[in-house]
Structure 1
Amino acid sequence: MKRIVLLLIVVIICSCQGNKKHEEGNSQMQKVMAIHDEVMPKMGTLGKLVSQLKDKVDTTATGKQYQQAMKDLQKSNSAMMDWMKGFGDRFDSDEILNGKELTPEKQAWLDEEEAKVKALKEQINTSIANAEKLLANSEEKIFN
């Protein structure tokens, strides 16, 4: 009888730990998607800034700064598209949207994707900030 109770306790503990790991993976997926959802709306800003910078590109030193800022924005946009494609190739909709339990291999992939999306967020925010600063400085020169 003691063995049955002990075995039952071990099974309950193991199943609770398994559920905890599943919840951690699901929470991590939600975190990755939240980062994506935070930066995705900024894709329109990238396009708008590229258009504004394009008109200012020329052969002068300042014109080359505009060109570099424009290239950085375009790289950020491409990086987002590449990340989304790669992420979609690795995970199915049940894993992304419904918290379907991940295999150990997919959990390792999710760890990689979390690092990638954090770097992507930084890249997008930095390229936008740099372009906006450059454009603001050009506006100040016009009004001074």
Structure 2
Amino acid sequence: MKKLFSILICTVLLLSFSCKEEKKAPDGSTQMKKVMAIHDEVMPKMGTIGKLVGELKPKVDSTETGKQYEVAMKDLQAANTAMMDWMKEFGDRFDHEEILEGKELSAEKQQWLDEEEEKVKVVKEKINGSIARAEALLAKDTVQ
């Protein structure tokens, strides 16, 4: 419960930073905006992950079908963890002005931003993929 509360606080803080109006930024901040746009696209899906985990959890048992539900649930939880880890690392690497105000990045931080862009794309794929697989499994269950 304590971990969930910490995750919730991090999420709210990052959302509040990402939702503020940006000041006019230099052209070099285009990549930062792109990275944040990917984050902003998948962040609302975290609620869907929680909902799906809640639907899958009671279906987990020792049967073959139950094991499929468990795999889907763990996949969703791993996607959630990937997002939380990415946000923490991103927040550790960049300050408020760099993220929201387009402050010019050092060469090292530009390299980090390149890395973070690739990482957030992977996180996006994990989130979207795990949701799609879980929804397909649950839909298959209701058809049978």
Match of 1:46 in 2: 49
Distance 1:122 1:78 in 2: 13
**Residue 80 (str. 1) matches residue 83 (str. 2):** yes
Identical aligned pairs, as a percentage? Answer: 71
Distance 2:82 2:122 in 1: 10
**Residue 132 (str. 1) matches residue 135 (str. 2):** yes
1:63 is displaced (CA, Å) by 0.4
Q: Aligned Cα RMSD in Å?
A: 0.6
Distance 1:87 1:93 in 2: 11
Cα deviation per residue 1:24-67 (whole Å; 9 max; x = unaligned)?
x3000000000000000000000000000001111110100000
Is the radius of gyration larger for structure 1 or structure 2? 1
Q: How many positions carry a matched residue from both structures?
A: 119
What stretches of structure 1 move > 2 A for 4+ residues in a row? Answer: none
Cα deviation per residue 1:100-121 (whole Å; 9 max; x = unaligned)?
0000000000000000000100
Partner of 2:62, secondary structure, is coil
Q: 1:105 aligns with which of 104, 108, 112?
A: 108
Distance 2:139 2:58 in 1: 15
Where does the alignment leave 5 or more consecutive residues of structure 2 unmatched? 1-25
Distance 2:93 2:62 in 1: 43
Match of 2:62 in 1: 59
